[in-house]
Amino acid sequence: MKRLRTLVLVLGDQLDLQVAAFDGFDAAQDAVWMAEVDEESTHVWSSKQRIALFLSAMRHFAQALQSMGRPLFYRRIDDPDNLGSLAAELQATLKKLAPEQVVMTMPGDWRVLQSIRDVVTASGKVLELRDDRHFFITVADFSRHMHGRKSLRMEYFYRELRQRFGVLMQDGKPLGGAWNFDAENRQAFGPEGPGLLPEPVRFQADPLTREVIALVKARFAKHPGSLDSFAWPVNREQALQALQSFIEHRLPMFGRYQDAMWPGEPWLYHSLLSAALNLKLLDAHEVVQAAEAAYKAGSAPLESVEGFIRQILGWREYVRGIYWTQMPGYAERNSLNASRDLPAWYWTGETDMACLRDALKQTLQHGYAHHIQRLMVTGLFALLLGVEPRQLHAWYLSVYVDAVEWVELPNTLGMSQYADGGLMASKPYAATGKYIQRMGGPCGTCRYDPGARTGERACPFTTLYWDFLMRHAGMLSRNARMALQVKNLERIDPAERAAIALRVESLLRHG
């Protein structure tokens, strides 16, 4: 190759041949740079499933680049000369290749953006950052949406996007005459359970993935979780198959059961597409289009399709806007002054609370838990206990295969922990064990009673819920959406309050 014109940087969550950084790519004078480094698996204690997914998907993408004849500088993690961090690897590459320019698509992590920008600047070049077209809107669009608003609400943001992109719209009005169908959606299974569920498509490891699995088992042996069930899509073809299988078999019931739980059933009617979306094996536009097309073809009802599209066009875009407009300060926020340590059993699942045991064991086994398990089991417990948000953030970023900071942090810190003081969510998602029982949690087989708040059999969620209300009564009483809960608290007499405090003390003593 003559003098290198452009070095295109591709990170582990930018695995699309059409990514903006490739615009104008000329194999005769440009090259791609990718690096596997220990730091990305150790800055938080990443689970084996998460590490394996990123490495396998990166290696499959490298193969695709090579088969297209795109020159590639690829550093493997097991290369003895590997320098261990993206910054060090990039610095060495820039010194060696001296490209005229360096181009990258907007990354998914503020820390990574800063370190890459610093290295490129120190080498005397300017990093050309391009917008990520996998999202419907840019961060600048989100800032404009924020401008002049006293408070942000996902619902209004989502309606704006529905109108702007003409999704599920007719003559300027929402299809079906309503923006949401919560009354039809969000049901629990009856006592008989979900019955026979459609199996999601899972992928057998090919030789490349098997090689990565062996590497992760050896190199990251002490990291959490196991790889026995690894079956995530690792390339574009598999991601498209996963999308098609969801649209055909699970989308029709997605809406109705999107908030339901059932013991021993990790997938239910969820799409399992978050990792493929976040690694950019799938594009959010094509996922939304596929769901809308299923409605138009009559193969999925409007309430399910709307419920699903709301997650992607609504929540996913919204949390990205929050992340990039609020960082870096956002990661430090702790509006409830929560300071307790994350219980050590979050890393093992060894607890006698059946709902937490199920959600944690499943998380460690598959690198996956559905939204209600994350928000209303693992997240809720940490909120009620008062776990320091940064510790919980590190846990969520470690254990899930779809975890990238732009999406994980606002969900953890904002939605689940109310640590941003209400920027993301209009009130804390606080509930007792009765909520978990109602939505299908395993209370029937648990040693605790979700209806009891004091005494030996009191469900820790229920006890901690009342303790949470007592600890934060002043702040909660100023929130109109918490009025009913605060009123219920006022009905509790001093003797009962003392019994709750005693039970909390005993729970804390026993870890």
Ligand X SMILES: Cc1cc2nc3c(=O)[nH]c(=O)nc-3n(C[C@H](O)[C@H](O)[C@H](O)COP(=O)(O)OP(=O)(O)OC[C@H]3O[C@@H](n4cnc5c(N)ncnc54)[C@H](O)[C@@H]3O)c2cc1C
Q: Which residues bind ligand SF4 (CB under 6 A)?
A: 353-355, 433, 436-437, 441-443, 446, 448, 450, 459-461
Q: What CA–CA distance (Å, rounded) separates 374 from 400?
A: 10
Q: Does an H or E element contain 34, and which? A: strand 30-35
Q: What CA–CA distance (Å, rounded) separates 271 from 311?
A: 11
Using CB under 6 A as the binding rule, whether residue 49 contacts ligand X is answered as: no
- The 3-state DSSP class for residue 234 equals coil
CB 440 within 8 A of CB 260: yes
Q: What CA–CA distance (Å, rounded) separates 327 from 125?
A: 25
Nearest residue (CB) to ligand SF4, 255 versus 441: 441
Q: In degrees, to the nearest 5, what angle opens at C-alpha 476 toward C-alphas 471 and 481? A: 145
Question: Long-range pairs for 347-352 at CB < 8 Å and ≥24 separation?
Answer: 347/224, 347/395, 352/446, 352/447, 352/448
Supply 6's token pair: 């452009």
Q: 270 touches which of ligand SF4, ligand X, none (CB within 5 to 8 A by kind)? A: ligand X
User: Binder to ligand X among 70, 75, 357, 374 (CB under 6 A)?
Assistant: 374
User: Binder to ligand X among 6, 14, 93, 411 (CB under 6 A)?
Assistant: 411
The beta strand positions in 76-170, using DSSP E, are 101-105, 127-130, 169-170
Using CB under 6 A as the binding rule, whether residue 400 contacts ligand X is answered as: yes
What is the nearest approach in angstroms of ligand X to the Cβ of residue 374?
A: 4
Q: 402 touches which of ligand X, ligand SF4, none (CB within 5 to 8 A by kind)? A: ligand X
Using CB under 6 A as the binding rule, whether residue 234 contacts ligand X is answered as: no
Residues between 275 and 314 that touch ligand X (CB under 6 A): 277-278, 308, 311-312
The CA-to-CA distance between both ends of the chain, in Å, stands at 62
CB 396 within 8 A of CB 274: no
What is the nearest approach in angstroms of ligand SF4 to the Cβ of residue 465?
A: 10
CB 40 within 8 A of CB 86: yes
Nearest residue (CB) to ligand SF4, 383 versus 404: 383
Q: Give how many residues touch ligand X by CB under 6 A.
A: 28
Which residue in 70, 412, 17 sits closest to 239, CA to CA?
Answer: 17
Q: Does an H or E element contain 189, and which? A: none
Using CB under 6 A as the binding rule, whether residue 259 contacts ligand X is answered as: no
Q: 268 touches which of ligand X, ligand SF4, none (CB within 5 to 8 A by kind)? A: none
Nearest residue (CB) to ligand X, 7 versus 312: 312
Q: What CA–CA distance (Å, rounded) separates 205 from 108?
A: 27
What is the nearest approach in angstroms of ligand X to the Cβ of residue 152?
A: 14
Using CB under 6 A as the binding rule, whether residue 316 contacts ligand X is answered as: yes
Contact segment (CB under 6 A) with ligand X among 16-24, 352-360, 368-376, 498-506 equals 368-376
Using CB under 6 A as the binding rule, whether residue 388 contacts ligand X is answered as: no
Residues that bind ligand X (CB under 6 A): 270-274, 277-278, 308, 311-312, 315-316, 319, 370-371, 374-375, 379, 396, 400, 402-403, 407-408, 411-412, 415-416
